[in-house]
Chains A and B, each alone.
Chain A
Amino acid sequence: MKETLVRDWMTLDPITVSSSCTLPDAYWMMINNNVRMRANIMLMKLPVSRVMTENPKTIEVNAALLKAARLMLEHKISTLPVMEGSKLVGIITESDIFRALVKQLES
């Protein structure tokens, strides 16, 4: 696992929204559902900037997978944005690392 890199298991080109995107739009984007419902007026106007985590922890694309795992466990987070310099290139999740570990243990 020490030789396995984040870039080998990450998901490329994650879906992103701007901080002014409304909560209902972000919600429907998450569940990837085209059905629209009448939104509560207050929530409809709230931008995601009001609820998002600012300055999230990130991981470099060439970092070891173990480093990503430690970062997630230490901060109790399940997804890390993957950066190449200052550019977002993917995301890596707890499940990605879990799959990598199991594959390695079984091989």
Chain B
Amino acid sequence: MTPNPITISSSTTLPEAYRLMVEHQTCCLLVMDQGTLAGEVTLEDLRRKMPVALGLYGPRPGEQYVDNTPVCHVMHKNLKSIQADSSLIEAARLLLDSHMSTIPVMDGGKLVGTITERDILKALVVQVEA
């Protein structure tokens, strides 16, 4: 897993979330509200919902609202998470079943990291080649 994932609050705006993704070279940010995991937002969510703010299109009258839209309007809620001591295959099955690219890793109720398809692929390739 990747420890200490970047988190934002649900009131973070879409352009700010995008800026953080670029800065930290990640495609997914976890949303925390008052210490509780509230959801996650992916680059794909932003691409689909804010092409104006991504600079692909020039602004049109009435579209400035995108700049102020908080991520709570586009984030995925009711996230599945996995405990840090779960097996890799359990995490893999959860990723496939939930159709998510990143799953939060918890230690009890505390967020301690994230796990992605790439993390598991890397581990499995090393295992197969050993």
B-binding residues in A (CB < 8 A): 1-2, 23-24, 27, 31, 37-41, 43, 66, 69-70, 72-73, 78, 94-95, 97-99, 101-102, 105-106
Contacts and interface: CB of A to CB of B under 8 A. Distances in A.
A102 B122 contact: no
A36 to B, nearest CB: 10
B120 interface: yes
A73 B123 CA distance: 11
Interface in B46-75: 47-48, 51-52, 55-58, 60
Contacts of A24: 56-57
Nearest to B54: A27
B47 A101 contact: no
B124 A101 contact: yes
Main secondary structure of the interface of B (DSSP, over half): helix
25 contacts: A1-B128, A2-B128, A27-B51, A31-B47, A37-B57, A37-B60, A39-B56, A39-B58, A41-B58, A43-B55, A43-B56, A66-B128, A73-B118, A94-B117, A94-B118, A95-B117, A97-B121, A98-B96, A98-B117, A98-B121, A105-B89, A105-B92, A105-B124, A106-B89, A106-B93
Contacts of A78: 118
B121 A94 contact: yes
A38 B60 contact: yes
A95 B95 CA distance: 10
B130 interface: no
Given A24-B56, A95-B117, A99-B96, 16 more contacts: A1-B128, A2-B128, A27-B56, A31-B47, A37-B57, A39-B58, A40-B56, A43-B56, A66-B125, A70-B125, A72-B121, A73-B118, A101-B92, A101-B124, A102-B93, A106-B89
